[in-house]
Amino acid sequence: MQIFAFLSLLSSIIIMALGIFVYSTNRKSQLNRIFLFLCVMAFYWAFMESMLRDADSFSSAFVWMKLTAFWTFVPAATFHFTLYFTESKLLKRSSWIPFLIYGPAAFFSFLELVTNLIITTPVMRYWGYSYQYAPDMLPFLIELAWAFGILVLSLFLCIRYYFQVPGLQQKNQTKYIVTGISVAIIGEFFCELVLPLFHVIIPEPEAIFFIFFSGMVAYAVQKYELFVVNPTTAADNIVSTMTDSLILLDRRYTITSVNEETEKITGYQRETLVGRPFSTIFVNPQDSNEILSKITADSAIRDIETLFRSHDGASIPVSFSGSVIKNTSGENNGIVCISRDITQRKLLEDTLKENEHRFRELADLLPQTIFEMDMEGNLTYVNYAGVEIFGIDNTKIRTGVNVREYLIPGDIERMRRGLALVMGGAKSSGEVYTLRRLDGTLMKAMVNTGPVIRNGVAIGFRGIVIDITDRVTLEKTLNETTEFLTGILQASPVGVFRLDPSGQITYINESFRKITGITFEILQGKYWADILPKEERERMIMAIAASVREHKMVEAEARYIHPDGKQYWLFGQVVPLFDPVGHIKGWVGTITDITQRKTIEVELRESEEKFRSLAENTAALLFSLDVNGVFTYVSPLINSYGFLVEDVVSHHFNDFVYPDDRKKVQVNFRNVIDGEREVTSVFRMVDRWGYIHWVEEISTIRVNVFGKPVGVYGVLRDVTDRRRTEDAIQLANKKLNLLNNITRHDIINTITGLFGCVDMAASTQSKEERSVLLAEIKDLVRIIQRQITFTREYQEVGVHAPVWQNLKDVMDRVIVNFSKQNIRFDLDLEDTEIYADPLLEKVFYNLIDNAIRYGETVTAIRFYYQISDKGLALICEDDGVGVPAESKEQIFERGIGRNTGMGLFLTREILLITGITIQENGTYGKGARFELLIPNGAWRFPVTGQRGKNISQPTN
Res 9 pLDDT > 90: no
Q: Can you give the pLDDT at residue 1?
A: 58
DSSP 947: T
Q: pLDDT class for 91, splitting at 50, 70, 90?
A: low
Give residues with Cβ within 8 angstroms of 514, minimum separation 6. Answer: 495
pLDDT tens digits, one per residue of 605-626: 777 777 667 666 677 888 899 9
What's the whole-number average pLDDT of the chain?
A: 82
Helical ranges in 120-190 per DSSP H: 138-164, 168-189
- d(C-alpha 463, C-alpha 381), whole Å: 10
Phi, psi dihedral angles at 677 (to 5 degrees): -60, -50
Q: State which amino acid sits at residue 679.
A: V
pLDDT tens digits, one per residue of 193-252: 676 677 666 665 666 666 777 777 767 766 666 555 444 444 444 555 567 889 999 888
Give residues with Cβ within 8 angstroms of 398, minimum separation 6. Answer: none
Q: pLDDT class for 436, splitting at 50, 70, 90?
A: very high
- d(C-alpha 796, C-alpha 798), whole Å: 6
Pair type for strands 442-454 and 332-341: unpaired
Res 739 pLDDT > 60: no
Pair type for strands 860-868 and 824-828: parallel
Mean pLDDT of 694-722: 86
Angstrom distances, CA of residue 609 to CA of 287, 604, 614, 616, 619:
88, 9, 9, 10, 18
Query: What's the chain's length in residues?
Result: 956
Percent of the chain exceeding pLDDT 90 equals: 17
pLDDT tens digits, one per residue of 795-816: 555 557 788 999 999 998 888 8
DSSP 404: G
Mean pLDDT of 844-870: 89
pLDDT tens digits, one per residue of 778-797: 877 776 765 566 555 555 55
Decide: 881 and 856 in contact? Cβ < 8 Å: yes
Run of H or E residues at 625: strand 621-626
Q: Can you give the pLDDT at residue 429?
A: 80
Q: State which amino acid sits at residue 163.
A: F
Q: How many CB atoms lie within 10 A of CB 52?
A: 25
Q: pLDDT class for 756, splitting at 50, 70, 90?
A: confident
Percent of the chain exceeding pLDDT 70 equals: 87
pLDDT tens digits, one per residue of 252-285: 889 988 888 888 889 998 888 888 899 999 999 8
Give residues with Cβ within 8 angstroms of 794, minimum separation 6. Answer: 736, 739, 902, 906, 909
Mean pLDDT of 498-524: 90
Query: Which candidate, 287, 255, 250, places its Cα nearest to that of 268?
Result: 255
More confident residue, 884 or 766: 884
Which of 17-31, 484-498, 686-700 is most confident? Answer: 686-700
Helical ranges in 557-711 per DSSP H: 595-617, 645-648, 662-673
More confident residue, 213 or 658: 658
- d(C-alpha 46, C-alpha 205), whole Å: 10
Q: State which amino acid sits at residue 844.
A: F
Q: Can you give the pLDDT at residue 955?
A: 39
More confident residue, 773 or 149: 149
Query: Which candidate, 818, 882, 806, places its Cα nearest to that of 848?
Result: 818
Classified as helix, coil or strand, 709 is strand
Q: Can you give the pLDDT at residue 751?
A: 81
Strand ordering across the sheet containing 379-382: 379-382, 369-374, 457-467, 442-454, 431-436
More confident residue, 15 or 250: 250
CA 560, 566, 572: angle at the middle one, nearest 5?
25
Q: Can you give the pLDDT at residue 49?
A: 80
- d(C-alpha 244, C-alpha 226), whole Å: 30
- d(C-alpha 585, C-alpha 551), whole Å: 12
Q: How many CB atoms lie within 10 A of CB 203?
A: 19
- d(C-alpha 505, C-alpha 227), whole Å: 98
- d(C-alpha 399, C-alpha 381), whole Å: 13
Phi, psi dihedral angles at 375 (to 5 degrees): -65, -20
Task: Say which range, 313-317, 354-358, 895-899, has the weakest mean pLDDT.
Answer: 895-899
Phi, psi dihedral angles at 730 (to 5 degrees): -65, -45
Classified as helix, coil or strand, 262 is helix
Helical ranges in 676-796 per DSSP H: 720-763, 767-794
Contacts for 659-665: CB closer than 8 Å, 24+ residues apart: 660/684, 665/697
Res 558 pLDDT > 80: yes
Q: Can you give the pLDDT at residue 787?
A: 56
- d(C-alpha 392, C-alpha 52), whole Å: 104
Residue 95: exposed, middle, or buried by beta-carbon count in 10 A (0-12, 13-18, 19+)? exposed
Res 694 pLDDT > 70: yes
- d(C-alpha 542, C-alpha 549), whole Å: 10
Q: Can you give the pLDDT at residue 236?
A: 46
Mean pLDDT of 115-119: 88
Specify which residues 697 forms β-bridges with.
Answer: 681, 716
Mean pLDDT of 342-354: 84
Res 730 pLDDT > 90: no
Q: Can you give the pLDDT at residue 874?
A: 94
Decide: 102 and 73 in contact? Cβ < 8 Å: yes
Q: pLDDT class for 402, splitting at 50, 70, 90?
A: very high
Q: Can you give the pLDDT at residue 807?
A: 92
Task: Say which range, 219-228, 598-607, 825-834, has the weakest mean pLDDT.
Answer: 219-228
pLDDT tens digits, one per residue of 456-502: 889 999 999 999 988 888 888 888 887 777 777 777 788 999 999 88
Specify which residues 334 forms β-bridges with.
Answer: 325
Mean pLDDT of 904-911: 84
pLDDT tens digits, one per residue of 660-681: 889 988 888 888 888 777 888 8
Q: Can you give the pLDDT at residue 952?
A: 35
Phi, psi dihedral angles at 464 (to 5 degrees): -135, 140
Q: Can you give the pLDDT at residue 737?
A: 62
